[in-house]
Amino acid sequence: MLILAIDSATPVAGVALLTEEKLLKEEFSNYKKTHSETLMVMIDRVMKECECCLDELTAIALSIGPGSFTGLRIGMATVKGLCLAKSLPLIEICTLDAIAHNIAGTRALVCPLLDARKQEVYTAFYDVEETKPRRLGQIMACSPEQFVNAALSLAREQERDRLILLGDGFYSYRDYFHKMLGEKMQAAPLHLGLPRASAVGSLAIDKALEGDYADPLKLRPLYIRLSEAEYRLGKGEL
């Protein structure tokens, strides 16, 4: 099995190539340039340096959101182009699942947070006692306050005395979270704090084994939120 994994859901761009046993190469970039300028070049570099061609791939795994709408679409359009041209299977991975997968083997409640702008975060809660994360409940778009309340009540209910926070949404509201959660809160180490394409790929292996593939003709990003115009139309403001 050979999986190419791609993530462009946040300001981070990531590309990884892996088998079931081995992470062959990973590129992570969180520096200035836009995804449309970097992503395809990173894909090309990863493939070439591993002397691999697209025909050898089992599937392409993609981080489908939530995240930045434009970032998600750049990644998805690129992957749709690659998959359609080569009839390659496409595997969709939730971005929050992938970030939660940076942490494993702890009883702590793992809370990936993505900056959703408008003073909100995208988040979900995870149990990561086993190697793979298990999502507890729904993915939410909510205010940092709502997140704190939900996290504390779930931790209490499940008797978990620690919360591990990570993702760019954590960094955006770090001081606030620190104030509200105090000793209970733990930040992920720097190198595990943001989405990693290797984590997307790792989660995709199980899906590939099950043949759980997405249709490139129909797949959409996981937006969580409606567009502003649709939201206003729904409220009768347009």
Partner 1 sequence: MKDVLILGIESSCDETAASIVKNGRDILSNVINSQISIHQQFGGVVPEVASRKHIENIAGVVDKAFKDAGLSYSDIDAVAVANAPGLVGALLVGVSFAKGFAYALNKPLLAVNHLHGHIYANFLEHENISFPAICLVVSGGHTSLLYMASRGHLKLIGETRDDAAGEAFDKVARFLGLGYPGGPAIQKAAQQGETGRYKLPRVFLDRNDFEFSFSGLKTAAMNLWRKSERQGNASVYDMAAEFQEALVEVLAEKTIRAAQEYQVHTLLMAGGVAANQRLRNMMKERSKALGLQLYYPALNLCTDNAAMIAGDAHYYYINGRFAPLTLNAYPGLWSL
The residues of the shown chain that bind partner 1, judged by CB under 8 A, are 34, 36-41, 43-44, 54, 69-70, 73-86, 216-218, 220-221, 223, 227-230, 233, 238
Q: Work out how close the CB of 188 gets to partner 1 at its nearest, in angstroms, rounded to a whole number.
A: 30
Cα(190)–Cα(187) distance, integer angstroms: 8
Residue nearer to partner 1 on the CB measure, 50 or 152: 50
Phi, psi of 38 (to 5 degrees): -105, -40
Select 38 or 58, whichever has its Cβ closest to partner 1: 38
Nearer to partner 1, 144 or 216 (CB): 216
- Report in angstroms how near the CB of residue 37 gets to partner 1 at its nearest: 5
- 190 vs 217 by CB, closer to partner 1: 217
User: E strands, 19-161, where?
Assistant: 23-29, 59-63, 90-93, 109-115, 121-127, 134-142
Closest separation in Å from C-beta 73 to partner 1 = 5
124: nearest Cα among 133, 115, 134, 136: 136
Q: Kindly tell me which of 27 and 101 has the beta carbon lying closer to partner 1.
A: 27
| Min dist. Cβ of residue 75 to partner 1 (A) | 8
List CB contacts of 4: < 8 A, sequence separation 6 or more. Answer: 15, 16, 17, 43, 46, 47, 54, 57, 59, 60, 61, 201
Q: How far apart are CA 58 and CA 77, in angstroms?
A: 19
The least distance separating partner 1 from the CB of residue 18, rounded to whole angstroms, comes to: 19
Instruction: Give the total residue count for the chain.
Output: 238
